[in-house]
Chains A and B, each alone.
Chain A
Amino acid sequence: SYELTQPPSVSVSPGQTASITCSGDNLGYKYVSWYQQKPGQSPVMVIYQDTKRPSGIPERFSGSNSGNTVTLTISGTQALDEADYYCQVWDNSTVVFGGGTKLTVL
């Protein structure tokens, strides 16, 4: 079965840029979505189709897809961005999530 690999944790200082990676075989040929989940809350989509941002998501969230690795970038990271982030793709008509990355803003 298809697997997506994310780093378990990423730390960033307030105002700096956070980069969260997601890797998988031939990932460049798949559309990737990213979800933010804060403690006790439901996931919220922050990026879809690799680079698109839903309405209401701040411009500081951006996505890129290159080769076997995709990256969620948060520019000017704020304390309220502290959350778990999951990448997601489709494989053989099923949904696959990465293991998640805990972003700590300190």
Chain B
Amino acid sequence: EVQLVESGGNLVQPGGSLRLSCAASGFTFSTHWMQWVRQPPGKGLVWVSRIKSDGSSTSYADSVKGRFTISRDNAKNTLYLQMNSLRAEDTAVYYCARESSSWLDYWGQGNLVTVSS
């Protein structure tokens, strides 16, 4: 059974940093691109970032470019999102998702990040 379990969400002050993790199991992690998607409270889904199966290619939404870094450790079957210079508008539930061809077929349970003083 495919499972994606996020962790690391917390309350952080503006300008602070946080690292999210997503532990994957039930599939061959190293063969799949992975993504982060976020959802501000009461709002819709917003794409954040994606990373190639071997970690050699990444892309980011303009809103997080230069502040967030996606990475992965295929030996640990874990996806990461390092978030720096956090802003109030980064407050959201963050989901990791598995990418299969042109769709996102499995999603984690979500992890809340709150940026507030």
Smallest CB separation, A79 vs chain B (Å): 23
Establish whether residues A33 and B104, one from each chain, have CB atoms under 8 Å apart when the complex forms. yes
Interface size, A (range): 20 to 34
Point out the residue from A1, A90, A93, A97 that lies within 8 Å of B44, measured CB to CB: A97
* B109: contacting residue among A37, A42, A48, A49, CB under 8 A: A42
A43-B45 in contact (CB<8A):
yes
Q: Do B44 and A99 touch (CB < 8 A)?
A: yes
Q: Report whether over half of chain A's contact residues are helix, strand or loop; otherwise say mixed.
A: strand
Encode contact with A along B50-83: 1 for CB under 8 Å, 0 otherwise.
1000000001011000000000000000000000
A49-B46 contact, Cβ under 8 Å, with A42-B110, A93-B59: no
Task: Given A43-B45, A88-B45, A97-B45, output 11 extra A-B contacts at Cβ < 8 Å.
Answer: A33-B104, A45-B103, A45-B104, A48-B105, A49-B103, A54-B105, A84-B44, A94-B59, A94-B61, A97-B46, A99-B44
